[in-house]
A and B are shown apart, each in its own frame.
Chain A
Amino acid sequence: MTSFHFGSRQRRLFGYYEPAQANFSKVRAVLLCHPMGNEQIFAYRTMRQLAARLVPSGFHVLRFDYFGTGDSYGDTGEGDLASWCGDIETAIEELKEITGATKVNLAGLRLGANLSGRVADHRPKEISKLILWEPLAADELAVAGFGCPAARAERNLRLIGSDIVEGFARGAIKTALLPSSTLVLLTARPPSPTEFGSLAVEYVAEASAWIEERLDTGTIPAEALQRIVDWLQ
């Protein structure tokens, strides 16, 4: 395992890379895209455990923090939806450079799912498989930067209903040009019948990425994590 900084001098990002443990003829790599704000804190153990399950299955895994979040440089609240997509693209390039992979898999949780979907829509040739785990609806997306300075949170609230937010939101997923191997994984509640169009959707009950009341127990949603590993295999 290797922790390191990458990206441009002006936008240094923190990454955590774990090489595949099993030898496969084809290089397979997964980029994990965190949620935002305190959700990143709450879900950190789950994302780490997801990486721990992917590595022995033959996947190189890179986790990283968006600019202005986690251990990356930048002040809290710095950045926006478009620039965080740019961070995912930077991380994709980094993962390809480290592993030699020509395409990568993306797995995003909550806001990470919305951002992953947008990147996959824009760079379809570079994405192999895509997992969108509990993508945020428009109203949630507008305030996703929970923990940001108040002024920014107010600005985000004003974004509710805007084209920018609607374009990133859960409701836009069914019209995006996503890889054919895309899975929408829901763990909070089942989807409505037509919500995601023709995309594969799975609902795993009682498998939220974290349960706030049980954070101290270190509980992880093992069934959901296994489903992700199986889908990527």
Chain B
Amino acid sequence: MTRVFNELVAQFGRSASLMGILSRPTPELSIRRPAVVILNTGIAHRVGHHRMYVTMARELAASGYLAFRFDFSGIGDSASRGDGLSQLEAHQADVSEALDWLTASCDVNEAVLIGLCAGADIALNYGHSDKRVVGLVLLDPTIPPTARFYAHYIGRRLTQLRSWWSFVSGRGRIWQELSERARLAFGAAPTQPTSADDHRIRSELAQLYVKSLDRNLKLLIVLTGGPLEGRQSYREQLFEALPNVPFRGRVSLEHFRDADHTFTSENARARLQELVLGWIKAIPITHNPPPTSAGDAASAAFGERPSRGGAPWREDHSGG
């Protein structure tokens, strides 16, 4: 089969310690904007669960977009930064350096960040601060629980015999949640850090969403139906958990009821791919013109087969 993309390996960043792979259309195709940057999920490396980020990047490239998958410092094949930054600060700096590399190598001035779970939270944290970011695709971002979530959660757990035993014996999350809420209802101080942090997390998330909307970032939020221990149980949970954020009419929100958190189902991944591609195509681009073709983009610093003497980087034009 003739492929309509090729891939380049890039070592980049302040000390060339970050590693990423750029998927791009073959040189005869024009490059479309924006570029897409795909972030790690937790400590899983740039390939993603079920190889979903490889497939996503290649399909985006086949449709004319530059798609860059990279490893945060200390994850996959990227070295730790060693500059004393906290993990959150380091990830923010990593995203910034990935965009710097795309700007310098491929003339990218508009990009969409895609992240799942922790990757979504990092995208939300970073996106509003960089004018090159024009949109965010947040897959199962952190959503605080709501009363309706607890009702769903408890209802589902109580249908399980094992949960009944945990409940009756005073163990398990249901018991802890109910007893904690009963304590709080009677004016006791919270005993668990999660309860104590709840207000702060809601406040921070609300601020991040407001900043993103104030910057007119396009937001696509995809929630999975999730397993029993999921972060959300219904489509509107985000709106109810953060009632002061003017989401309505300003974000695209999709609920994949039958998908699990890592999109194990091939059908769910295909549906997600189609959704993301259609959403990106609809983003209006207003800035500088792109490179005329994929052949003009990315002219330096790409993976070369090592020789016995060294000389590391080369562009791979094979296209597979």
Task: Provide the bound-state CA to CA distance between A12 and B58, in Å.
Answer: 14
Take A2-B312, A41-B49, A45-B43 as given contacts and tell me if A74 and B320 are in contact as well, using a CB distance cutoff of 8 Å.
Answer: yes
A57, CB-defined interface residue at 8 Å:
no
Closest 8 CB pairs of A and B: A73-B320, A4-B303, A3-B9, A2-B306, A2-B312, A5-B316, A147-B50, A4-B305
Residue contact B303 to A3, C-beta cutoff 8 Å? yes
B19, CB-defined interface residue at 8 Å:
yes
Pick the contact of A150: B266, B304, B306, B318 (CB < 8 A): B266
A6, CB-defined interface residue at 8 Å:
yes
Task: Provide the bound-state CA to CA distance between A49 and B44, in Å.
Answer: 14
Set of chain B residues within 8 Å of A12, measured between Cβ atoms: 316, 318, 320
Set of chain B residues within 8 Å of A16, measured between Cβ atoms: 77
Set of chain A residues within 8 Å of B51, measured between Cβ atoms: 69-70, 76, 147
Pick the contact of A2: B76, B266, B303 (CB < 8 A): B303
Q: A2-B306, A4-B316, A37-B50 are in contact. List 17 more A-B contacts (CB 8 A).
A: A2-B313, A3-B11, A3-B19, A4-B312, A5-B303, A5-B318, A12-B320, A14-B9, A38-B49, A41-B44, A41-B48, A70-B54, A71-B47, A73-B7, A215-B42, A215-B44, A218-B43
Pick the contact of B42: A98, A100, A216 (CB < 8 A): A216
Residue contact B55 to A76, C-beta cutoff 8 Å? yes
Residue contact B77 to A98, C-beta cutoff 8 Å? no
B308, CB-defined interface residue at 8 Å:
yes
Task: Provide the bound-state CA to CA distance between A113 and B160, in Å.
Answer: 40
Pick the contact of A70: B47, B308, B312 (CB < 8 A): B47
Q: List 15 A-B contacts (CB under 8 A).
A: A3-B9, A3-B11, A4-B306, A5-B318, A12-B318, A17-B306, A41-B44, A41-B45, A41-B49, A44-B44, A45-B43, A48-B77, A74-B320, A76-B50, A99-B308
Task: Provide the bound-state CA to CA distance between A75 and B3, in Å.
Answer: 11
Task: Provide the bound-state CA to CA distance between A75 and B51, in Å.
Answer: 10
Residue contact A5 to B9, C-beta cutoff 8 Å? yes
Category for how many chain A residues contact B: 35 or more
Q: What are the interface flags for A1-38 relative to B under an 8 Å C-beta threshold, 1 for contact and 0 otherwise?
A: 11111100110101011010000000000000000011
B294, CB-defined interface residue at 8 Å:
no
A190, CB-defined interface residue at 8 Å:
no
Residues of B289-320 contacting chain A, CB below 8 A: 303-308, 312-314, 316, 318, 320
B21, CB-defined interface residue at 8 Å:
yes
A31: min CB distance to chain B, Å? 14
Task: Provide the bound-state CA to CA distance between A16 and B77, in Å.
Answer: 9
In the complex formed, the residue of A with least CB distance to B44 is A41
Residue contact B307 to A1, C-beta cutoff 8 Å? no
A149, CB-defined interface residue at 8 Å:
yes
Task: Provide the bound-state CA to CA distance between A215 and B118, in Å.
Answer: 14
In the complex formed, the residue of A with least CB distance to B54 is A71
Set of chain A residues within 8 Å of B305, measured between Cβ atoms: 2, 4-6, 94, 98
In the complex formed, the residue of B with least CB distance to A41 is B44
